[in-house]
Amino acid sequence: MTLAAVLVASLACYGLKLAGVSLPQRWLQNPRVQRTVPLIPIALLAALIAMSTFATGRHLELDVRAAALLVALGAVLLRAPFLLVIAVAAATAALLRVAF
Amino acid sequence: MATPPAPAGARRGILRDALGIAVASGAYAISFGAISTAAGLSLLETSALSVLMFTGASQFALVGVVGSGGSVWAGAVAAALLGSRNAMYGLRLSAILNLRGWRRPLAAHLVIDETTAMAIARDDLGLAGYAFWRTGMALFIFWNAGTLIGALATQAISDPRVFGLDAAPPAAFLALLAPRLRAREPLAVALAAAVVAIVVLPFVPAGVPLLVVAILIAAYGWMRR
């Protein structure tokens, strides 16, 4: 089941890449498409941040993940490298669980 | 008057940059392997994502959705939606890379943020192609090696929650999002998307909040002047 979803999603992602290098230029040169597509990852990543911080399934929860996100935000603002941002967030959650 | 750099020197510089990007991505892939395994994906599924999907944000989206209790199909939808930007990159790349025959399907697999950035930064078309292929190949190797290391290391841990790995996906998404927020409009779009996702989440099946956000942003982009 999981593997099937992984394969289908991978095929979809490859299809999008292949479409980009294969389709006639004018199809994707529509100014509205050009304006809209860069906004999609911004909106989706922001939605994913909110959901993976505050949701478990369909329930909203406030737990150590919110604190971990705040620390990660601080690391991002200090221009920390990617791996360090992840590490401080994980460490925050781990320490808070030990402490409480 | 500036003289163009000797091709050999320019190529060495590109190779050095490509390797630097690949090593940095390898480290980032370690965190992907760890997060994916902590979310419950097997070694085969985790590696399949890095070999076959090979586009970081989509991979993180799939395992992030699964890790926070969503269905894997909801994760698949998120991954595909995030992959839409690669079509735009492909469009720009097909204009500067001379893709013929078997090179086109092979090049398509390597169309991601990093290879696009490396290729479009060159004025010389020959160097653009060199930068694209070398960055893509180096990144593919380090990305998959890093994924394997992260997944195997996490499998060795009995409970990934002890290390807070279940709290890592929001940080990973934030680190991917931050470089795209350099103007007021993207910041407003991001905040609005986060609020919409949280507000609709309790009332709709898993995966649907992301679709709602995608539809709203598409409508906004389409109607905005």
Supply the pLDDT for residue A100. Answer: 80
Are the Cβ atoms of A54 and B198 closer than 8 angstroms? yes
User: Is residue B191 located within the same domain as residue B103?
Assistant: no
User: Is residue B90 located within the same domain as residue B31?
Assistant: yes
User: Is residue B153 located within the same domain as residue B218?
Assistant: no
Supply the pLDDT for residue B158. Answer: 78
Residue B6 has pLDDT above 80, yes or no: no
User: Is residue B15 located within the same domain as residue B34?
Assistant: yes
Residue B59 has pLDDT above 90, yes or no: yes
Are the Cβ atoms of A5 and B80 closer than 8 angstroms? no
Are the Cβ atoms of A14 and B52 closer than 8 angstroms? yes
Is the Cβ of A8 closer than 8 Å to some Cβ of chain B?
A: yes
Closest-CA residue of A relative to B172 is: A86
User: What is the model's pTM?
Assistant: 0.87
Confidence of residue B5 (pLDDT cuts 50, 70, 90): low
Is the Cβ of A79 closer than 8 Å to some Cβ of chain B?
A: no
How much is the average pLDDT of B124-150? 96
Question: Mind giving me the DSSP string for chain B?
Answer: -PPPPPHHHHHHHHHHHHHHHHHHHHHHHHHHHHHHHHTT--HHHHHHIIIII--HHHHHHHHHHHHTT--HHHHHHHHHHHTHHHHHHHHHHHHHS---TTHHHHHHHT-SHHHHHHHHT-SSHHHHHHHHHHHHHHHHHHHHHHHHHHHHHHHTSS-GGGGTGGGHHHHHHHHHHGGG--SHHHHHHHHHHHHHHHHHGGGS-TTHHHHHHHHHHHHHHHH--
Give the strand pairing for A59-60 and A55-56.
antiparallel
Distance from CA of B127 to the nearest CA of A (A): 19
Higher pLDDT, B199 or B5: B199
Gap between the Cα atoms of A9 and B48, Å rounded? 11
User: Is residue B20 located within the same domain as residue B41?
Assistant: yes
Higher pLDDT, B206 or B13: B13
Are the Cβ atoms of B72 and A93 closer than 8 angstroms? no
Residue B2 has pLDDT above 60, yes or no: no
Task: Find tokens 């930068």 and name the residue.
Answer: B131
- Evaluate whether residue B3 is within a structural domain: no
Confidence of residue B1 (pLDDT cuts 50, 70, 90): very low
How much is the average pLDDT of B95-101? 87
Percent of chain B surpassing pLDDT 90: 67
User: Is residue B211 located within the same domain as residue B105?
Assistant: no
Supply the pLDDT for residue B150. Answer: 95
User: Is residue B195 located within the same domain as residue B155?
Assistant: no
Is the Cβ of A70 closer than 8 Å to some Cβ of chain B?
A: no
Low-confidence winner among B59-68, B154-163, B210-219 (lowest mean pLDDT): B154-163
User: Is residue B195 located within the same domain as residue B175?
Assistant: no
> How many structural domains are present in chain B?
2
User: Is residue B69 located within the same domain as residue B154?
Assistant: yes
Is the Cβ of B126 closer than 8 Å to some Cβ of chain A?
A: no
Are the Cβ atoms of B94 and A9 closer than 8 angstroms? no
User: Is residue B175 located within the same domain as residue B189?
Assistant: no
Gap between the Cα atoms of B34 and B22, Å rounded? 18
Supply the pLDDT for residue B98. Answer: 84
The ipTM, to two decimals, is 0.91
User: Is residue B12 located within the same domain as residue B58?
Assistant: yes
Supply the pLDDT for residue A5. Answer: 97
Kindly list the residues from chain B whose CB atom is less than 8 angstroms away from the CB atom of residue A19: 87, 90
Percent of chain B surpassing pLDDT 70: 97
Give tens-digit pLDDT for B14-47. 999 999 999 989 988 999 999 999 999 999 999 9
Is the Cβ of B31 closer than 8 Å to some Cβ of chain A?
A: yes
Distance from CA of A99 to the nearest CA of B (A): 12
Instruction: Give the closest of B78, B169, B221 to A36, CB-based.
Output: B221
Is the Cβ of B18 closer than 8 Å to some Cβ of chain A?
A: no
Kindly list the residues from chain B whose CB atom is less than 8 angstroms away from the CB atom of residue A50: 193-195, 197-198
Domain that holds residue B98: 8-180
Give tens-digit pLDDT for A3-52. 999 999 999 999 999 999 998 877 767 888 888 888 999 999 999 999 99
Are the Cβ atoms of A97 and B176 closer than 8 angstroms? no
Residue B119 in contact with residue B131, Cβ under 8 Å? yes
Give tens-digit pLDDT for B188-205. 999 999 999 999 999 988
Are the Cβ atoms of B72 and A2 closer than 8 angstroms? yes
User: Is residue B13 located within the same domain as residue B120?
Assistant: yes
Residue A1 has pLDDT above 90, yes or no: no
Is the Cβ of B186 closer than 8 Å to some Cβ of chain A?
A: yes
